[in-house]
Amino acid sequence: MASEAVYTHRDPMLKKRDDFEDILEERRNSSDLRYALRCYIPVLYKELTPCKASELKSMVLQSDQLRYVINQVCKETGMAADEVQAEAAAILEEMAHRLQLSTIRFFAFTLSKVFKTLFRSICVNEEGIQRLQQAIHEHPVVLLPSHRSYMDFLLMSYILYTYDLALPVIAAGMDFMAMKFVGEMLRMSGAFFIRRSFGGDKLYWAVFSEYVKTMLKNGFAPVEFFLEGTRSRTCKSLTPKLGLLNIVMDPFLKGEVFDVSLVPVSISYERILEEALYARELLGVPKPKESTSGLFKARKVLSEDYGSIHVYFGQPVSVRSLAQNRVDRCQFNLIPRHIPRKPGEDIHSFVNDSAYRLVRAQEENMVLKPWVLLASLLLQNHHQMQVAEQKQGMALDELTEQAVWLRDLSRQYGAFLHWPDHVSPSEAVSSSLSLHRGLVRISEGRVQLALEQAGGQTRPGEPCSAVTPEEELLNQAVIILSCASYRNQALHIFLRPALLASAIHTASSSNKQEVYNSFSFLRNMFSNEFILCPGATVQDFEEACYLLVKTGVLQINQQEFVVTERGHRTLGFLTRMLDPFLQGYQVVCRFLCEDATEGLTEKQFVPAVRKFIIRHILTGRLRYTEVLSSDLQKNSLAALLRLGAVQKLKGGEEQGTLKVNKVMVNSLEDTLGGKLPTQKAVVARL
């Protein structure tokens, strides 16, 4: 149960953040060619001389760890040492970067032209750049940017070049390497290519880990990778992947370096280039294969306006301080450093906790634009109008009033909000609506989602093609999921208060213990959906209580929650933020209980549940189109697998088949809908 010290929580409003500078301003007023060809002498770790790519490969191939693994592979397979050594060299050749300054200069010139066309501004916190410069000089540095667009890694290198900082070597997927010409250009700008999964390939893992550790230990360049592993199609932060983080922490844990600096970087786009592409992927349209021809076909984006980008370089996080009182490094002295060892449970827990902390740091420094708030309000209005069977949208004045109310609330919750202060609220709202005119329609002073223009469009002179109800639904879902991706950017601000608001709504009474039990259940259920740090349930509950009490929504009298008269508006908004997720999880539970799921495999799950959802939406039994998101469906299945309500069979002909405990799944559906009290016993069992 939460402690009584609810009100001692740190006030989010007290968090100090740096100011920004627009790096495109200078580019608009001076020569791009002079910028690309200027003198570039970056500060390096302990003023080292840069290492050639060929020297780096020799160091890796001659390392004790790789030699040890090569000997192990020879013993296991019976292959000759020369043969395995040649295989290791081929893996490294395929993987390694070939960073060349001439290629960097080419990208600096080209990207200057592209960025000035696409974006109004690229704003960077200069204090963060100064902290990064100091960190690069003192310790090996790992850059951990958020990942919402293909543009991210190009943007990072462009910014570091602009500020005369050492260019990073960047972990990239093999699919980029397959792009003719472009793949090699990326390699020469610092990308090294890795497989999406290694399976049990011991040699590949050894070459990869030794390559990353050699670059890191010797400080030749900052190492950059995406902690989330892939681009977030929903603009929510994804559960962190631990493989690369394990590798970059290893040199410190083994005492090979004094410290490693981890730098979380938050990249916030006012308008995302891939917004419609992501929505279609979430609806089951396959992701286009990366290709050079596809890149040239995408040139039409250059005629669009994508607003501004804010890039915030966070405080460098010392691995040494993270590990203090958490990890006993003496255990690494018991066997030679070059012998690979599987991390123990304590190391796994330490790396996992650190990963969550770093993703939370990314979230906290994300800059929210007015459109994020507008998308949240328009989606909630759309759902309310659906229930009332009305489709007239919101009056522009009413939307502006609600946006100002939500702006003030989000600031009280500690949001990093970029709301233009030099213009009136109505101008700020109109400007945002204009930038996102593909998603909204304004008619007769009213604003609504552009669902009418989403489907059944034909060019002038072309005969109207019949659109089936399912096609119309999926076309409208593209607009709704695109808007939801912007709404999701604000979820980390409202998540904990929203969980508490939903807990108050579903709990069997207003007793603090009952509400806490309900909060704990919901938080546990959604821990695959949102970034909720392991073991921090009480802390999150206290934070939510603090924020709702501070903003006058709740009073806590003798262990009872009392909602104030003015608090109903805020509680209503917060519960509606989570409603699509609650209904999404409920409908997955209903599908697993109602439909014939015998013999259903994990691969068949998403297409089958999508078909079930489409049927229910078209018959009016489901309200939220958002539940068509494959991301939400996969996360709900992951939660049910984690809770033991569904099991995945292993081995034999039934490999990957899902075995459903229908009693438990049905109970979870009822609890999510607030039909059953959340008993302590249920929380303990889950």
Candidate from 5-14, 226-235, 412-421, 543-552 with smallest mean pLDDT: 5-14
Residue type, 646: V
Burial 430-452 (b: 16+ CB within 10 A, else e): bebbebbeebbbbeeeebbbbbe
Candidate from 48-52, 235-239, 373-377 with smallest mean pLDDT: 48-52
Grade residue 650 by pLDDT with cuts at 50, 70 and 90. confident
335 vs 526, which has greater pLDDT?
526
Tell whether the model's pLDDT for residue 8 goes beyond 70: no
Which tens digits make up the pLDDT trace of 627-642?
999 999 999 999 999 9
The mean pLDDT value of the chain amounts to 89
pLDDT number for residue 453? 64
When pLDDT is averaged across residues 146-152 and rounded to a whole number, the result is 94
pLDDT number for residue 278? 95
Measure the N-to-C terminal CA separation of the chain; round to a whole number of Å. Answer: 16
pLDDT number for residue 300? 63
pLDDT number for residue 18? 84
Tell whether the model's pLDDT for residue 683 goes beyond 80: no
pLDDT number for residue 144? 98
Domains and their CATH numbers in the chain: 21-36+46-271+311-355 (3.40.1130)
Q: Which helix (H) or strand (E) holds 266?
A: strand 261-269
CB-CB contact of 301 with 150 (8 Å): no
pLDDT number for residue 656? 81
Alpha-carbon distance 428 to 432, whole Å? 6
pLDDT number for residue 469? 92
321 vs 455, which has greater pLDDT?
321
Please return the burial class of 362, using the count of CB atoms within 10 Å of its CB with bins 0-12, 13-18 and 19+. buried
Alpha-carbon distance 310 to 569, whole Å? 31
Neighbouring residues of 12: CB distance < 8 A, sequence distance ≥ 6 = 412, 413, 414, 547
Grade residue 676 by pLDDT with cuts at 50, 70 and 90. very low
Q: Which helix (H) or strand (E) holds 292?
A: helix 292-297
When pLDDT is averaged across residues 659-674 and rounded to a whole number, the result is 91
Strands (E), 414-537: 440-443, 446-449
Nearest Cα to 481, choosing from 358, 673, 630, 621? 630
Tell whether the model's pLDDT for residue 178 goes beyond 80: no
Sequence length of the chain is 686
Grade residue 454 by pLDDT with cuts at 50, 70 and 90. low
Which tens digits make up the pLDDT trace of 567-608?
999 999 999 999 999 999 999 999 999 877 788 999 999 999
- Number of Cβ within a 10 Å radius of residue 461: 5
Grade residue 292 by pLDDT with cuts at 50, 70 and 90. very low
Question: Which residue blocks in 326-388 are alpha helix, DSSP H?
Answer: 345-364, 370-387
Nearest Cα to 268, choosing from 313, 222, 315, 316? 313
Grade residue 399 by pLDDT with cuts at 50, 70 and 90. very high
Which tens digits make up the pLDDT trace of 190-210?
999 998 777 778 999 999 999
Grade residue 450 by pLDDT with cuts at 50, 70 and 90. very high
Which tens digits make up the pLDDT trace of 315-342?
999 999 999 999 888 888 778 888 888 8
Tell whether the model's pLDDT for residue 71 goes beyond 60: yes
Burial 638-670 (b: 16+ CB within 10 A, else e): ebbeebebbeeeeeeeeeebbebbeebbbbbbe
When pLDDT is averaged across residues 83-94 and rounded to a whole number, the result is 95
pLDDT number for residue 675? 62
pLDDT number for residue 457? 47
CB-CB contact of 592 with 641 (8 Å): no
Question: How far does Cα 116 stand from its chain's mean position?
Answer: 26
Alpha-carbon distance 190 to 180, whole Å? 17
Which tens digits make up the pLDDT trace of 13-63?
546 688 899 999 999 999 999 999 999 988 887 767 777 888 899 999 999
